[in-house]
Amino acid sequence: MNRIVIFANGDLPDLDKARALLRHDDYIICADGGTRHASALDLKPALVIGDLDSADKSLLKKLRDEGVSIELFPRDKNETDLELAIQRAVELDPHEILILAALGGRMDQTLANIALLSSSYLAGRSVRLDDGVEEIFFCRDQAQVRGRSGDTVSLLPWGGAVTGIHTENLKWQLNGEALSPEKTRGISNEMTAEMAAIRIQSGLLLIIHRRAS
């Protein structure tokens, strides 16, 4: 399986930009209320998962009648609906996991959604949050950011200092330097080409790429 797209229940600020991220052969999973975004984009998910407390009941019935697989979990559970969806996606072993609508709305949910990507069981996998405007992912050794000259790229150390950082095609280059989580040096860099490269020696680096409008 090439790619799984998961719809979470956060904000999707621009449907056209979100639509541009999709491919015809994506395997679609909706985490509970993420069904509203798939519906808005005229997509039929392969799976809906969660406690289903935020999904539209009439939409759920329609999907069930259409043969969509629905996994219902109790509301009193240890995982968020998105975490359950990611776990299912990993079991299917795709080359890439793209998570849409995981940002915005409640700050606690947004931070938790970002933190999920730092899980060790996702190491070595291509997993990104995206909404068409911003994409967020972690760099554990090296990473590439694809966009346009003028796009904003922020580098945030996660859980501790990140050392030996080398960057290419960013306006303010890093050449083997370190970033600390209590400092803001890595915020608001700019791409100078259509692809920027980041390489690190140790640590976990959160990359936030905001596309120029």
Helical axes 107-116 vs 81-91, angle rounded to 10°: 20
CA distance 212 to 177: 27
- What mean pLDDT comes out for the span 175-197? 97
- pLDDT, residue 65, reads 93
For the cut 90, the answer to whether the pLDDT of residue 173 exceeds it is: yes
Same structural domain for residues 18 and 123? yes
Residue 137 within a domain: no
Q: Tell me the whole-structure pTM to 2 decimals.
A: 0.93
Same structural domain for residues 99 and 16? yes
Domain extent for 152 = 142-210
Split at pLDDT 50, 70, 90, the class of 104 is confident
pLDDT tens-digit readout, 194-205: 999 999 999 999
Q: What's the angle, vertex CA 69, arms to CA 2 and CA 86, rounded to 5?
A: 50
Are 60 and 37 in contact by the 8 Å Cβ rule? The answer is: no
Are 103 and 113 in contact by the 8 Å Cβ rule? The answer is: yes
Residue 77 within a domain: yes
Q: Which of 77, 101, 132 is the last residue of a domain?
A: 132
Count: domains in the chain: 2
Split at pLDDT 50, 70, 90, the class of 88 is very high
Task: Give the range among 69-78, 85-94, 174-183 with minimum mean pLDDT.
Answer: 69-78
pLDDT tens-digit readout, 141-160: 999 999 999 999 999 999 99
Split at pLDDT 50, 70, 90, the class of 193 is very high
Split at pLDDT 50, 70, 90, the class of 106 is confident
Split at pLDDT 50, 70, 90, the class of 54 is confident
Residue 155 within a domain: yes
Split at pLDDT 50, 70, 90, the class of 74 is confident
For the cut 80, the answer to whether the pLDDT of residue 105 exceeds it is: no
> Which CATH number fits the domain that encloses residue 159?
2.60.120.320
CA distance 154 to 209: 7
Split at pLDDT 50, 70, 90, the class of 97 is very high
pLDDT tens-digit readout, 132-143: 999 999 999 999
> Which CATH number fits the domain that encloses residue 124?
3.40.50.10240
Same structural domain for residues 26 and 110? yes
Same structural domain for residues 164 and 83? no
Outline where 66-172 has alpha helix (H): 81-91, 107-116
